[in-house]
Amino acid sequence: MISVFSIQNKLETNLMKNIFEKITLWALAIVMVIFGLNKFFGFIPVEPPIDPIAQSFMGAMFTSYLFIVVALVEIVGGILLTIPKTKLFGWLILLPVIFNIVAFHFAHDFIGNGFWLLPTLLFVIITYFQFGIIKKSYKLWINIR
Predicted TM-score (pTM) of this structure: 0.83
Instruction: Please write the tens of the pLDDT for every residue from 3-43.
Output: 655 666 676 778 888 899 999 999 999 999 999 999 999 99
Task: Report the alpha-carbon distance of residue 145 to residue 33 in Å, rounded.
Answer: 34
Q: What is the pLDDT of residue 38?
A: 95
Per-residue pLDDT band for 48 (boundaries 50, 70, 90) equals confident
Closest CA to 89 of 27, 34, 134: 134
Q: Who's near 97: CB < 8 A, 6+ residues apart?
A: 32, 70, 73, 74, 77
Instruction: Please write the tens of the pLDDT for every residue from 55-73.
Output: 898 888 888 899 999 999 9
Are 114 and 102 a contacting pair, CB within 8 Å? no
Q: Who's near 61: CB < 8 A, 6+ residues apart?
A: 67, 70
